Amino acid sequence: MACFLVPAGEAVVTTVVQKVIEHQGKKGGEAKAAEMKLKWSKRLGWLNIMLWGGSLLLALEHIWHGEIIATPPFLTAMQDATETSIMLHEMATVGVAMAVTITLIWGIMILVAELKSRTAKVKVQPVRGGA
């Protein structure tokens, strides 16, 4: 009905957070902190693309099924009080589950990327000591 609006709402929030972090990273300051901010801005970008892209494609599916219309109130479920309550319930269950699943998968991606980057740093470090 309108479940994609929940991930889209999350996308708005994460995009704002990403832009703020990116701005702070570009502003400069301590080199290491700025680098860290830019790294997290890039990683948040992955989540943003998944959320925005997913919401866009799901919106097409809703248009296809006649659940979104070009005239107000735009969602057919909002034309009737009973349908609106079903829609809100669906947003609270399916929509939230979608947003949480995407965020969890992004969390796993970050974990893997972090572990890989740490392993790479260990390999690059020069060997100390020796004769």
Closest of 121, 116, 97, 124 to residue 43, by C-alpha: 116
In this chain, which stretch among 31-39, 76-84, 91-99, 110-118 interacts with other proteins, using CB under 8 A? 91-99
| 98 within 8 A of 4, measured Cβ to Cβ | yes
Least distance to other proteins, CB of residue 69, Å: 17
Sign of the alpha-carbon torsion through 73, 11, 102, 100: negative
* 101 touches other proteins (CB under 8 A): yes
Least distance to other proteins, CB of residue 77, Å: 15
CA pair distance 101, 36, nearest whole angstrom: 26
| Planar angle of CA 54, 47, 89, nearest 5 degrees | 55
Binding mask 45-84 for other proteins (x = CB under 8 A): -x--xxxxxxxxxx-xx--x--------------------
| 77 within 8 A of 86, measured Cβ to Cβ | yes
CA pair distance 21, 34, nearest whole angstrom: 9
**Closest CB to other proteins among 7 and 25?**
7
Residues between 1 and 20 that touch other proteins (CB under 8 A): 3-4, 7
In this chain, which stretch among 12-20, 28-36, 66-74, 93-101 interacts with other proteins, using CB under 8 A? 93-101
**Closest CB to other proteins among 53 and 73?**
53
